[in-house]
Chains A and B, each alone.
Chain A
């Protein structure tokens, strides 16, 4: 479904991604770990189409399409969803209004009728249960004054509403309390199917107890330097990154 080949990207002339290769098939969960500043959020942003990043080399194919050729909104409409590490606030725009606009633009792209207010609200009610999000939060301005955890929960709620084919969760676990982590992870698991895939970016093994990955990759200095199964995450939890860094830096 997603095929990243030798992806290089830089910002303001500084190379950040230096040859990423990754294959993701429908139904899979991939975890991406790695030290701070290694390029995890950059990879997510490049896939989502953030324009500050310049792709200097490589290709990304998503469901048979050249992803890098699409505008950010079209990538979203094709089914790419990014749960942001730092969701932005949009004053005065209610989550409900925002989501309705989003859902209907995505539907329009896919040749579907827009949802009327009644259908939309009942859809919302259902998805709210999934991540146990409070109605009150959704009638407020989008993310404005939300606590860190509330923002993250709202990201996953939006994901539930948009039903993406590829979801990239960038440190969704950070900021969530223990109960929220469980609830939100359960939500993500319920949304999983044989047709969609998930990439979770995290620093902590804890999340992977809930959202069990098929593969774990370590990103370091803009490259995937190690891949394995969920046991790799346990090993990292125990030993940290130093041994991997040493391996890589010695090879250079």
Chain B
């Protein structure tokens, strides 16, 4: 996998020393199907994610990308097939679901910060109540991650006082405070103004550099080329094509992929 120089979103080179894919399975999805009423959103999804992988999922709107990653932490329930996360099978057992959710971090398009809590409280809430970490320790961890996403000075403000890009970085920090082993991103930059996209992508790149397992729904193809080790193209609830980024962008196989790429890349 080589660096693609053009279309880079960041100016700096990426440190790949810790971006290693192990052969330990992080997420295993087999034959998964999901319906919304009569509507068959996800069809026969098979996907194995190894620890350390950075996967970018793209595809036209309504193709089921969000639904797929929301199934992984059971924000949506699947009706057939198996999903195993970190060795735990997702069933209807609430204990398992809460366990998986506390191991899997998620960032949403609209951040979903808690507006009635300060930035610091947003970050310490789950560690204190779910992990039972003492308040002092949780605050230290929170400040550590807030420093990492470069907003430690905003800790005592409320989310409404921050810009979109800052809010999204807080959301990432909030997830990291639970020390997740897998991070899911659902279009984290689509609700942001162009000048804020970069700061969020930079944060995500840093995360990737530290070897985090990431599944990322995004249309930032620069990010996909730079960071991803695998790109998945979905359409009509199915995985249509997946490949290494260079191959995927340079030599797409399916007609649908070609059409999609020409639409989002070829202006």
Answer yes or no: do A and B interact.
no
